[in-house]
């Protein structure tokens, strides 16, 4: 598993979605089944002995990594979604954005009391989204074992919002 190959498979799109942003486009990584498989294998090797009961995927690119990893770990998959997307009883967590707020929701039965949980997303930037999901899991009685990302953007200090949570990533940029 060549980390440099994984890094090189991610397209950088300048000024998207707004000027000054360097968007990390993972669709180019996903087009290569070998590299995508390598990413899932790296996550699996990291967490296979962690006793994970539930992998939580954060909408939407977190789903891409959470679903195959949950299958490989033989555990359940839970979804953290934007408001209005989940049909059953749910809990919500609001978090700050650069310009305003947003929310994420999870079904109340997605996490059982005492479950060991791995939270997954594709990228950690400012940390608001991952922090909100961490709070949701804790509020549902889950025990967050780690929060995992394909990429961490170190310059944006998102790790600080995650407190003492274990954080894992394949790439740090």
Task: Find where tokens 């949950």 sit.
Answer: 70
Span 108-144, pLDDT tens digits: 999 999 999 999 999 999 999 999 999 999 999 999 9
Alpha-carbon distance of 73 to 121, in angstroms, equals: 17
Residue 15 lies in a domain: no
CATH code, 58: 3.40.50.2020
Burial of 30 (0-12, 13-18, 19+ CB in 10 A): middle
Residue 76 lies in a domain: yes
CA 44, 45, 46: angle at the middle one, nearest 5? 90
Length of the chain: 173
Mean pLDDT of the chain: 96
Q: What is the pLDDT of residue 100?
A: 78
- Mean per-residue pLDDT for 153-163? 93
Q: How many domains does the chain have?
A: 1
pLDDT over 70 at 35, yes or no: yes
Residues of the domain holding 114: 50-172
pLDDT over 90 at 46, yes or no: yes
Residues 35, 51, 173, 22, Cα dihedral to 10° = 80
Full-model pTM: 0.96
Phi, psi values for residue 111, rounded to 5°? -125, 130
Distance of CA 41 to the CA centre of its chain: 16
Residue 64 lies in a domain: yes
Residue 40 lies in a domain: no
Residue 38 lies in a domain: no
- In 3D space, the residue among 157, 150, 170, 141 whose CA is nearest the CA of residue 57 turns out to be 150
Q: What is the pLDDT of residue 47?
A: 98
Residue 127 lies in a domain: yes
Residue 155 lies in a domain: yes
Q: What is the pLDDT of residue 98?
A: 65
Residue 61 lies in a domain: yes
């Amino acid at each position: 598993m060549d980390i440099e190959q994984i890094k090189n498979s991610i397209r950088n799109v300048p000024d998207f979605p707004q000027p000054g942003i360097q968007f990390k486009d993972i669709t180019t990584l996903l087009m290569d089944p070998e590299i995508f498989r390598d990413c899932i294998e790296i996550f699996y090797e990291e967490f296979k002995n962690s006793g994970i009961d539930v992998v939580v995927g954060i909408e939407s690119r977190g789903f891409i990594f959470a679903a195959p990893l949950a299958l490989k770990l033989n555990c359940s998959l839970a979804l953290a979604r934007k408001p209005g997307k989940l049909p059953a009883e749910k809990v919500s967590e609001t978090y700050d954005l650069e310009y305003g707020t947003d929310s994420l929701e999870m079904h109340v039965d997605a996490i059982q009391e005492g479950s060991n949980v791995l939270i997954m997303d594709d990228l950690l930037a400012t940390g608001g989204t991952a922090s909100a999901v961490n709070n949701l899991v804790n509020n549902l009685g889950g025990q967050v074992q780690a929060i995992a990302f394909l990429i961490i953007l170190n310059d944006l200090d998102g790790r600080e919002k995650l407190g003492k949570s274990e954080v894992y990533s394949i790439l740090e940029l």
